[in-house]
């Protein structure tokens, strides 16, 4: 079976949101270029992993002194309507790449029904401000009421939190003040 593919070289919209009531929420990402909108449905865990990957990229580039990574990403705005003719897929495999020359992050997404050796169904490239804003938004979407880590914007579970800003080595636990 041949799969339709899309490639957005200049992303004008990169958002994440949850649809539905708590407990039955479905998660999706919305990307657009100047011509078309793509809706990528995915599991909450996939979305959370992507947000963490974005945070890790920014954290590493900050450490390396890359100026664009040090600039604060704009706060995400409310997610606007999705055009009815948007292209949609269900996300299977998802990979993140980084183009050092252009400071662009690439997303490579395979349709869940694609074969192992099929090319990615969806490819897009985002700048560091876009992934920074999207990481904040993903953190908020995934958290759904749980407190967010002020450093990485990921939700803090009752048992504690492994922050990518600590390279994942030092979970900072929430402790009562004594
Ligand atoms: Zn954190």
Characterize the bridge pairing of strands 26-32 and 13-19. antiparallel
Question: For residues 32 and 12, is the Cβ–Cβ distance under 8 A?
Answer: yes
Rounded to the nearest angstrom, the distance between the alpha carbon of 133 and the centre of ligand 1 is: 16
- Specify the pTM: 0.80
Parts of the chain with a pLDDT under 50? 169-178
- Residue 157: inside a domain: no
- Residue 171: inside a domain: no
- Residue 78: inside a domain: yes
pLDDT at position 160, please? 76
- Residue 96: inside a domain: yes
pLDDT at position 170, please? 44
pLDDT at position 174, please? 44
- Residue 50: inside a domain: yes
- Residue 173: inside a domain: no
- How many distinct structural domains can be found in the chain? 1
pLDDT at position 167, please? 63
- Residue 178: inside a domain: no
- Residue 153: inside a domain: no
Domain that holds residue 25: 6-146
Spatial distance between the Cα atoms of 141 and 63, rounded to a whole number of angstroms:
27
Rounded to the nearest angstrom, the distance between the alpha carbon of 23 and the centre of ligand 1 is: 24
């Amino acid at each position: 079976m041949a799969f339709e593919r899309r490639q957005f070289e200049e992303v004008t919209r990169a958002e994440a949101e949850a649809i539905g009531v708590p407990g039955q929420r479905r998660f999706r990402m919305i990307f657009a270029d100047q011509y078309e909108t793509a809706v990528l449905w995915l599991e909450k865990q996939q979305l959370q992993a992507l947000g963490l990957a974005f945070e890790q990229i920014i954290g590493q580039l900050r450490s390396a002194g890359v100026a664009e990574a040090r600039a604060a990403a704009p706060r995400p705005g409310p997610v606007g309507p999705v055009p009815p003719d948007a292209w949609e897929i269900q996300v299977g495999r998802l990979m993140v790449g980084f183009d050092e020359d252009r400071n662009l992050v690439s997303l490579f997404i395979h349709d869940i029904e694609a074969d192992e050796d099929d090319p990615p169904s969806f490819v897009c490239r985002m700048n560091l401000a876009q992934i920074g804003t999207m990481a904040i938004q993903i953190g908020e979407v995934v958290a759904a009421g749980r407190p967010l880590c002020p450093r990485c914007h990921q939700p803090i579970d009752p048992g504690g939190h492994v922050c990518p800003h600590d390279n994942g080595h030092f979970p900072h636990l929430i402790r009562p003040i004594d």
